[in-house]
């Protein structure tokens, strides 16, 4: 049982390049999330999904797209990377328990855009 996994762990992009971050979970969770973490800013929600085939915008969605074609996978895409997207990206998944979504996080992807 691996929980939540993310690939890649590190990536360096040049401005304007594109890439896709992959998140996979093996807990059969309905909900999945993408966050970015910047110094002094905590975790900010980019996009989330409440089930296979669904996606929704979070707090900071601009410049990112997502897809949830399979229940266990949640992809985050950057079509044209910008230096402002340099950050650590975390994926999480959750299931309802007592109406509360307790989230399980992956190890993160450190992205640098030059």
Partner 1 sequence: TQLLEQSPQFLSIQEGENLTVYCNSSSVFSSLQWYRQEPGEGPVLLVTVVTGGEVKKLKRLTFQFGDARKDSSLHITAAQPGDTGLYLCAGSISSGSARQLTFGSGTQLTVLP
Chain residues binding partner 1 by CB under 8 A are 4, 31, 35, 40-45, 48, 50, 58, 90, 92, 94, 96, 98-108
The least CB distance from residue 41 to partner 1, in Å, is 6
Choice between 11 and 17, CB closer to partner 1: 11
Choice between 91 and 113, CB closer to partner 1: 91
How far apart are alpha carbons 14 and 27 in whole angstroms?
Answer: 35
Instruction: Write out the E strands in the chain.
Output: 4-7, 10-13, 19-25, 31-38, 42-49, 56-57, 65-67, 73-78, 87-97, 100-105, 109-113
The least CB distance from residue 8 to partner 1, in Å, is 14
The least CB distance from residue 98 to partner 1, in Å, is 7
95 neighbors 29 (Cβ within 8 angstroms)? yes
């Amino acid at each position: 049982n691996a929980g939540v996994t993310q690939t890649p762990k590190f990536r360096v992009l040049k401005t304007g390049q594109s890439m896709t971050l992959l998140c996979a979970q093996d807990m059969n969770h309905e909900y999945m999330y993408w966050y970015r973490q910047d110094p002094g800013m905590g975790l900010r929600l980019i996009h989330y999904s409440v089930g296979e085939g669904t996606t929704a915008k979070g707090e900071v969605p601009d410049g990112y797209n997502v897809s949830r074609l399979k229940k266990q996978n949640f992809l985050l895409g950057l079509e044209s990377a910008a230096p402002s997207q340099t950050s650590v990206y975390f994926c999480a998944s959750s299931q309802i328990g007592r109406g509360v979504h307790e989230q399980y996080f992956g190890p993160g992807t450190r992205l640098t855009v030059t």
